[in-house]
Structure 1
C-alpha cells in the first residue's frame, strides 16, 4: 500500500464489520484516524491495536450516536475544534430493520434508521465536502448496497435509504468531476457482520451466503483510492446481479428478493434453491437485453446513445457463462413472463448480430 503519513481518515461505524476493516486498511497505509461510533470502549481498544500493529500516530475517538438530531454537526464541530483536517471521509455507519412494513416494523426504529442512513450521512458529506473543495483535495466513500438498485420486500425502508445513498453519491460524482475531490459508492451484497442480528433478520435465507467483510472493505478501499464512482465487490456473481437489476422486470426482482429475505424453511420442507431462483433471474436479464437491442434498432439517434451505453455496461459485467445459465432456465423464464416470449422467439436467430451492432 501507499504511505499516507500525516493524512487523516474519518470513519463512522468503525467499531465492527466493514467499517472496522476499512479503518484497518487506512491504518496500514499510514493514515491518522478519527473513529466515530457509539462505543468509546471498543474504539479505544481498536485505536490501541492500530498504534501497536501499524504505528498509527494519532487516533481520535468521538463517541456519538449518529441517529440523533444534529449529531453530524457535533462531530464536525469536535473535529474542527481539535484542528484536524479530514482528507478522507468514510460514511459507513448504518442499520437495517426486517419485517413487513405495514404490520411488523416499528416506526420509531424506522425513523432512527432514516436519520442515521440518510440525514446524518448527507450532513456529514455536506460539512466535510465543503472543506475538501476549499482545498481542492479529498475523498469520500459512502456505503450503499446492492439493495440500493433493486426492490427489497421485508426490508423496504432500509433498501429505500440505500437507494438514496447511491443516487445521492452518483449525483455528486458529476458535480465533482472537474475537481480533485472524488466520491465513491460501495455496493456490497449481504456481508458477514452483525447487521442481520441487529435488524432481526438472523434467520433469513440470505444469511447462508454472506460475504467476507475483509474482501468487501478491500474492494471499497481500492475503488476509493482510484477515484472510481462505484464498486460492486464479489466478482462476476455480484456484477451479474447488478446488470440484472438494470434490465430485469422490477416485479421479478421483488419476487426474487422476497424469497432471499424470507425465513429459512424447516428441515423437512423442500423449496427451489436460491441458485435456481437467481438462474431464472439471469435468464430474465438475457431476454431483457435482447429487448433492449430490439428497441435500439427502432430508436431515435438520441435514444440509440442510451441503448449503446446500457449494452456496453451489460457487456462489461456479464461473461459468456451466462449463456449456459440461460439455457438451463429459459423455459421457466418464458413460462413466467409471456410478455417477452414472442420477442425472444422472433428475434432469437438475430441475437448475435444485434448484440454486435449494439456494442460496436
Structure 2
C-alpha cells in the first residue's frame, strides 16, 4: 500500500519536529526540510527506525530564493506527490520593529509570509488535480493582537488560510492556520527572549498543539487555536483595548 507523503518545513526542532513525529506515527512517509543537514538526517534516522516509514531529507534555507525553489520543485513533482504540506519554518525578532534593520525585517517577512505563499502555490495545483490534500500553516495567537511585525505576518497566515480553506475545501484540499500561544520549544531560546514574565499556566506542550492542529485540519477547520484556555483568551481579547492585549502578547521579549 502506498503511504501518503507529508512535507514539513522547520522539521528538526519544536513544532516542526512534533508534526513529523505525529505524521510519521500515522504512517505518512516524510520529506523533512531545514537548514541543518546533519540534524535533518539524525531526525530522519529516528523516524525510520521508530515507524518503518520512508523519510527523505531536503536541506534548504527558506529565507533564500534558491532554498524555496528547491522545496517548491519537490512539491510539484508528480512522480511522488505530496499529500500534506506543513509550513512551519520561521523565527521572530526579539527587538522592537524600529530597532531592527530593514534587512532583518525583510528576512523575517520573507520566511513568515512569502515562503509559505510560494510553497502553498506550488502544492495546490497537484492537490486539486488529485482531489485531496492538506496544508497547515503554523501561525500564532499573535495574529489576533497588536504584536509588531511578527503578529502582522502571522495574521497573513490566518487570513490566507481562511480564504484558501473556503475556496479549495470543496475541491478536497483542507487548509488550516494553527495558532498556538506560548509553547515549550527552542523557539524563544533561539530568538534570545527572556521568558520569565510568562506565567506557567500559559505554556503549552508541542504534542498537544500538533495533535489538536492535525485534528482540526482533518475536520476542515480554517483556524485552530489549541487548548481551551487560549480559545477563551482570544475570545476575550476582542473585548479589551488593544494596549492591554498588546501588553500580554509582548511578554517574552
State the TM-score, normalized to the length of structure 2: 0.92
For structure 1, which segment, 224-233 or 16-25, has the greater mean C-alpha deviation from structure 2 after superposition?
Answer: 224-233
Q: Give the equivalent residue in structure 1 for 2:232.
A: 240
Find out whether 1:144 has 2:139 as its counterpart.
yes
Bigger CA drift: 67-76 or 139-148? 67-76
The match for 2:177 among 173, 185, 195 is 185
Unaligned runs of 5+ in 1: 263-360
Is residue 74 from structure 1 mapped to residue 67 from structure 2 by the alignment? no
State the partner residue of 2:242. Answer: 250
Matching residue of 2:11: 14
1:194 aligns with 2:186: yes
Q: What is the aligned partner in structure 2 of residue 119 from structure 1?
A: 114
**Which protein is richer in helix relative to its size?**
1
2:220 to 203, 206, 227: 227
SS of the aligned residue for 1:14 comes to coil
1:256-290 CA distances to partner (integer Å, 9 max, x unpaired)? 334x345xxxxxxxxxxxxxxxxxxxxxxxxxxxx
Q: Is the 8 A contact 1:5 1:31 kept in 2?
A: no
Q: Offset of 1:216 from its aligned partner? A: 0.9
Give the whole-Å Cα distance in 1 for the aligned partners of 2:230 and 2:27: 31
> Quick one: distance in 2 between partners of 1:47 and 1:12?
13
Deviations 1:138-174 (A, max 9, x none): 011110100001112xxx1111110111111111122
Matched residues in 2 for 1:230 and 1:115: separation? 22
User: Residue 182 of structure 1: SS of its match in structure 2?
Assistant: strand
TM-score by length of 1: 0.66
Instruction: Give 1:200 shift.
Output: 2.1
Q: Is residue 29 of structure 2 the alignment partner of residue 32 of structure 1?
A: yes
Determine helix, strand or coil for the equivalent of 1:127: helix
CA distance in 2, matches of 1:11, 1:178: 24
Other-structure match for 1:84: 80
Closer/same/farther in 2, CA of residues 5 and 21 from structure 1, 3 Å limit: farther
- TM superposition shift of 1:198: 1.9
Secondary structure of 2:65 counterpart = coil
CA distance in 2 between counterparts of 1:46 and 1:101 reads 34
Does 1 or 2 have the higher relative contact order (CA < 8 Å, sep 6+)? 2
> Which consecutive aligned stretches of 4+ in structure 1 deviate over 6 angstroms post-superposition?
none
Which residue is 2:46 aligned to?
Answer: 49
Displacement of 1:73: 2.4
How many residues align? The count is: 252
- Does the residue aligned with 1:61 lie in a helix, a strand or coil? strand
CA shift for structure 1 position 177: 3.6
Cα pair distance change 1:171/1:80, threshold 3 Å: closer
Q: Which residue of 2 aligns with 1:109?
A: 104
Q: Give me the whole-angstrom Cα distance separating, in 1, the residues matched to 2:136 and 2:8.
A: 9
* CA root-mean-square deviation: 1.9
Residue 80 of structure 1: CA displacement?
Answer: 4.6
Which structure is higher in strand share? Answer: 2
Q: Distance in 2 between matches of 1:74 and 1:51?
A: 23
Secondary structure of 2:86's counterpart equals strand
2:205 aligned residue: 212
Contact 2:31–2:58 (8 Å) recurs in 1: yes
